[in-house]
Amino acid sequence: MSLTLYDAKILGAAVKDARSKRHLTQAECAELLEVSLSFQKDIERGRFSPSLENFYHICRTLNISADSCIFPYVNTENPVYQELIRIIAKCDENQLRVLISTASALICIDRYFIIS
């Protein structure tokens, strides 16, 4: 299983950013990831969709949040978001269904007011 091209571009930007923050060259990063330099360059350019195993390895090695690559528009640093995640983790299945219904209704209401 591979990432979509869009996800590969997001991952490439995240890899480049993580490499820059660590002050690594592409060659040094490739060595750290145990991949070829050409693979490293293709990843950073978003021209290559790594396997799930490689995606996991890249994220773990460079300390990149997999969520930030898959859900790039979710601000996981937001304290309100973090609180919501903590609450969700405590919910049973029935409570989760209520939350889904409530969130869906809120989104529909929000869209109604934006359109009107």
**Contact of 21 with 31, CB cutoff 8 Å:** no
Q: Domain of 95?
A: 79-115
Residues 56 and 107 in one domain: no
Cα dist. 26→46, 58, 72, 95 in Å? 14, 13, 23, 47
36-95 pLDDT per residue, tens: 999 999 999 988 878 889 889 999 999 998 887 877 776 767 788 888 888 999 999 999
Do residues 69 and 14 touch, judged by C-beta distance below 8 A? yes
Regarding whether 65 and 93 lie in a shared domain, the answer is: no
In a shared domain, residues 109 and 83:
yes
Amino acid 101: pLDDT: 92
Q: How many domains does the chain have?
A: 2
Do 66 and 9 belong to one domain?
yes
**What pLDDT, on the 0 to 100 scale, is given for residue 84?**
87
Both 85 and 35 in one domain: the answer is: no
Segment 27-44 mean pLDDT: 94
Residues 51 and 88 in one domain: no
- 6: which DSSP letter? H
Statement to judge: residues 23 and 62 lie in one domain: yes
Same domain, 14 and 44: yes
Both 20 and 61 in one domain: the answer is yes
Q: Is the pLDDT of residue 106 over 90?
A: no
Q: Where are the alpha helices (DSSP H) in 22-92?
A: 26-33, 37-44, 52-62, 66-70, 79-90
**Cα–Cα distances in angstroms (integers) from residue 83 to residues 7, 27, 80, 86, in the given order:** 26, 40, 5, 5
User: Do 38 and 62 belong to one domain?
Assistant: yes
pLDDT at 78: 78
Mean pLDDT across the chain: 85
| Whole-number pLDDT of residue 116 | 46
Residues 59 and 87 in one domain: no
CA–CA distances in Å: residue 30 to residues 36, 38, 52, 95, 96: 6, 9, 18, 45, 42
Enter the pTM of the model: 0.61
